[in-house]
Amino acid sequence: MGLRATVLIALLVVGPLVGLPLSFITAPGAIDQFSGFLPEAVTATFWILIGVGGGTLLIGTALAALVSFFEFPGRRWIEWALVLPLAMPGYVFTLFALGLDVPGIRSTGGAVCVFTLVLYPYVYLLARSAFLSQSRTLAGDVAKREHPLIVAGDLNAPETSPVIRTLLERGLRDAFSSAGRGYGYTHGHATKLAISFLRIDHILVSPEIGVVDAFAGGKEGSEHRPVIADLLLKRDDPR
């Protein structure tokens, strides 16, 4: 496509966008006809920007964390179903909601809800990619190991989550799953429930390292119980 054709197409697209505001400036008294609506429109636009920005950030990030850090029935299906709003343009979703005569849909709050439900998948995809990329980067470093390896810490994900599974697929194994007793929950006692109900702290070891015992320590001094393990490395191992 030549330069002239590109410029012509650009002018056809930009023309209406420029012509509409110019018509208010050039036409005598055109602005006065709508001046009474301007304060209300500016206020509504402000709250829509705040509401949609906060809503998409909250919902998109929370859903990305849910499918990245936890395993539950139907997770794989939900993981991809959450991007389906991308297939529906915002105006189609709006017309659908108007057709159902949803209470409050014609208000500022209704606009915030519609735009949030349409736009949150963009935040969801970015956050999900960021969460999983961390474990993939760590898994890449694990794959390059030349010596026995221990990966330990607050990984903020259960063993069955995609994040931890990425590391286990590199040959690491969870010390508590290998030799622990009970549930080994490490997090939750600092919440209002006052009981530990999640095991999101781990000691992962390479195959060369044996695990004699593993257990979760006391709850004193931290929101996370420590994971304690007795590990065994052969003395005659030249590494």
42 & 138 share domain:
yes
138 & 58 share domain:
yes
Q: Quick check: 197 pLDDT over 60? A: yes
Q: How many domains are contained in the chain?
A: 2
180 & 134 share domain:
no
Q: What is the mean pLDDT of residues 4-25?
A: 78
- According to the model, what pLDDT value does residue 192 have? 84
157 & 133 share domain:
no
pLDDT tens for 50-95 read 999 999 999 999 999 999 888 888 888 998 899 988 887 777 777 7
- According to the model, what pLDDT value does residue 122 have? 94
Q: What is the DSSP string of 49-108?
A: HHHHHHHHHHHHHHHHHHHHH---TTHHHHHHHTTGGGGS-HHHHHHHHHHTT-TTTTSH
- According to the model, what pLDDT value does residue 202 have? 93
112 & 193 share domain:
no
Instruction: Taking the CA atoms of 162, 163, 167 and 170 in sequence, report the sign of the dihedral they define.
Output: positive
pLDDT tens for 164-193 read 988 998 889 999 999 998 889 999 888 888
- According to the model, what pLDDT value does residue 86 have? 86
**Contact partners, residue 129, CB within 8 Å, separation at least 6:** none
Higher per-residue pLDDT: 34 or 73: 73
- According to the model, what pLDDT value does residue 30 have? 62
Mean pLDDT of the chain: 85
156: left (phi over 0), alpha (psi -120 to 50) or beta: left
**Residue in this structure with the two tokens 């960021």, named with its chain if needed:** 130
- According to the model, what pLDDT value does residue 120 have? 94
133 & 155 share domain:
no
- According to the model, what pLDDT value does residue 104 have? 78
Q: What is the mean pLDDT of residues 194-203?
A: 90
**DSSP secondary structure code for residue 197 in this structure:** -
Higher per-residue pLDDT: 21 or 182: 182
Q: Would 23 be classed as within a structural domain?
A: no
In degrees, rounded to 5, the angle at the alpha carbon of residue 102 between the alpha carbons of residues 111 and 77 is 80
CATH number at residue 140: 1.10.3720.10
CB–CB of 185/223 below 8 Å?
A: no
50 & 131 share domain:
yes
Alpha-carbon distance values, 204 to 115, 169, 201 (Å): 43, 12, 10
Q: Quick check: 213 pLDDT over 90? A: yes
98 & 183 share domain:
no
Task: Count Cβ atoms within 10 A of the Cβ of residue 177 and give its class: 0-12 exposed, 13-18 middle, 19 or more buried.
Answer: middle
**Domain limits for position 167:** 146-232
CB–CB of 174/202 below 8 Å?
A: yes
Q: Would 79 be classed as within a structural domain?
A: yes
44 & 137 share domain:
yes
pLDDT tens for 134-148 read 888 888 888 888 889
Instruction: Taking the CA atoms of 106, 108, 109 and 114 in sequence, report the sign of the dihedral they define.
Output: positive
Q: Would 7 be classed as within a structural domain?
A: no
- Amino acid, res. 102: V
Percent of the chain with pLDDT over 90: 33
Q: Quick check: 97 pLDDT over 80? A: no
Produce one character per residue of 90-105: b if its CB has 16 or more CB atoms within 10 Å, e if not. eeeebeebeeeeeeeb
- According to the model, what pLDDT value does residue 9 have? 85
74: left (phi over 0), alpha (psi -120 to 50) or beta: left
Higher per-residue pLDDT: 50 or 3: 50
pLDDT tens for 40-51 read 888 888 999 999
